[in-house]
Amino acid sequence: MASLAAKFSSSLERAGSNEGWTGSTSDLACSSRNDVVNVYPKMGRSRLSFTCEENTDMSSPDRRRFLQQAASAGMAWGVSSVFGGSFLCAQTSPPNTSDIVRVYVDSRRVIAPLDRNLFGSFLEHLGRAIYEGIYDPGSKLSDANGFRKDVISEIRQMEVPIIRYPGGNFVSGYNWLDGVGPKESRPRVLDKAWDSINTNQFGTNEFMAWCKVVGTQPLMGLNLGTGTPEEAAALVEYCNLDQGTKWSDLRRKHGIAEPYKVKNWCLGNEMDGPWQIGHMTATEYGMKAQDAARQMRYVDPSLQLIACGSSGPFMPTYLEWDREVLEQCYDYVDGLSLHRYFTNAPADTGGDTSKFLAMNLSMEQQIAETVAVCDLVRGHKRSPKQLWLSFDEWNVWYRARSGDAANGHHQEAPHLLEEVYNLEDALLVGGLVNSLLRKANRVKVACLAQLINVIAPISTNANGLLRQTIYYPYDWALQYARGSVLNLLVESPTYEVVKMGQVPYVDVAGTFNPEDGKVGIFVLNRDLSKPHVLEINWQDKAPGQVLVSNVLTGTDLKAFNTFESPQHVAPQAFAKPSTNGGRSKFEVPARSYTVIQWSA
């Protein structure tokens, strides 16, 4: 008798993911065709019903003060505030009690084409991100334009596809006209968001020139705090029209003949937050975003516009803000933003690394919940348009976020938010990369916040740059995640996490590039004490040779890099796995993130 596979046939009664579960599993026991199997996960009360079918294919105030008050009131950023005590794991495989982690790969089964903008980044006029970061005219390492040549080389090599600018909280008090025209005429301005002096020596035209040099695209942020829709449309005209209008001619007067043709624009930043300059209600913001979108599209109908979503699950208005905003502007925008910073602080994880390394699954829950709200409003409006998401601020951040680390004291380029990242931070960033890949069907833009010096993978000093630990998983995603995201079936043993339920020890994501046949597999081992053996089962065809095999691991989860010891935490060569009989088998170390790329 042909093998029987249980295939999903009915919806979840109360699923953790609002998108539902799709796919198939190969090892649920069925006695005959059309048997119904009910599964009740430990993590919640959702009932999953499967119908057995014959199937031989087995592949199937200020922000800082607000956050401190929120934490003391129990609105921690941890998963407990998101899930209310239950959590449905993102990897929908049956429990695996063996030591072997089985991964089923079929290049015909994909989640979505991978938009390269999923691995963008962010530069804000904050601390040393711009000044002393990418722009430092007095440095021996800078070119004639004042751009740091070492940073240019690094970003060009990384191939960062899109970079958000100029903020962030900064943008809600920024007048873009202060940063264009002759530099000697530009005003020195107090940035009230970070209590810092902005000299305005670096502005829109400098950023566009820098983007061209490093080979990236701009994601332009707009001031919808103190700014107006008319001023937003004027910036579009300045950037995108050729000539013959007030603002396009001003750009040409400033020495820029060709328009920039900027495609992607963010309509404000975190306008739900009481720390935000110009904070307003959801309805007020939604109407302002609608007006700005209309005026901007009168100038350039080709724009892709991103409305400002909730600042995160810690907000008391989480999701309700998104719904109210979209009720006003759904028809005028293309995407909705999400933000999230992950912490291993006592209030969130109790300092428990095993819980911290599971936090990427809460990112997936946040995405699913936000998608559900977008689709709810779409249904209300009976709109044919489906919104995509822009996760345009995400990272680990919890140490350098208060006191002098977040207050510029009226200084130029103060050292703000200069988080020092350790090994466990890098492992979670790897998990967050995996989560973004798995949600690539709806997340089309995402920005690691930020890029240089400020909560960043790269730090600079007068003599060079430093790759922090989180650089490596981010760079691996940029280099080896290409083509389409694979819909993997992963069978992994699990462990219990308080208020999250059962979490897989091993988290796996992958991509397949149909253009060259390369496969990339990204593996997070959350197990703090044990290595795990992975068995990759190639369902349609076995791959060619291993092109890349690297691992990031170590015995000290708190280890970090410094300018004096820049390789303290760095990738190590990983034994290239062999493939026999359609299977590749290898062992990943405890506390590790691994990338392997195969040729066709």
* Residues annotated catalytic, as ranges: 270, 393
Of 225, 334, 223, 123, whose CA–CA distance to 234 is shortest?
A: 223
- DSSP bridge partners of 390: 337, 445
**Rg of the chain in Å (alpha carbons):** 24
Name, in order, each residue with C-beta under 8 angstroms of 338's C-beta and a sequence gap of 6 or more. Answer: 309, 310, 312, 366, 367, 370, 389, 390, 391, 392, 394
**Strands, E assignment, 250-334:** 264-267, 304-307
Of 579, 558, 581, 577, whose CA–CA distance to 568 is shortest?
A: 558
Distance CA(180)–CA(175), nearest Å, equals 10
DSSP states of 415-444: --S-PPPBHHHHHHHHHHHHHHHHTTTTEE
In 50-101, alpha helices (H): 63-72, 79-83
Amino acid at 142: S
Inter-CA distances, 384 with 376, 377, 379, Å: 13, 11, 9
Are residues 598 and 545 in contact, defined by beta-carbon separation less than 8 angstroms? yes
Cα angle value 76/424/594 (rounded, 5°)? 125
Distance CA(445)–CA(117), nearest Å, equals 5
Are residues 445 and 264 in contact, defined by beta-carbon separation less than 8 angstroms? yes
* Location of structure tokens 């489906």: 386
Q: 354 burial class (0-12, 13-18, 19+ CB within 10 angstroms)? A: middle
Token duo for residue 321: 């803000």
SS3 category, 187 = coil
Our separate counts of H helices and E strands in the chain read 13, 31
Are residues 171 and 178 in contact, defined by beta-carbon separation less than 8 angstroms? no
Determine phi and psi for 431, rounding to 5 degrees: -60, -40
Q: 42 burial class (0-12, 13-18, 19+ CB within 10 angstroms)? A: exposed
Of 82, 84, 71, whose CA–CA distance to 369 is shortest?
A: 82
Write out the H or E segment, with its range, that includes residue 391.
Answer: strand 388-396
Are residues 546 and 597 in contact, defined by beta-carbon separation less than 8 angstroms? yes
- DSSP bridge partners of 506: 525
Are residues 152 and 257 in contact, defined by beta-carbon separation less than 8 angstroms? no
SS3 category, 197 = strand
Distance CA(428)–CA(426), nearest Å, equals 5
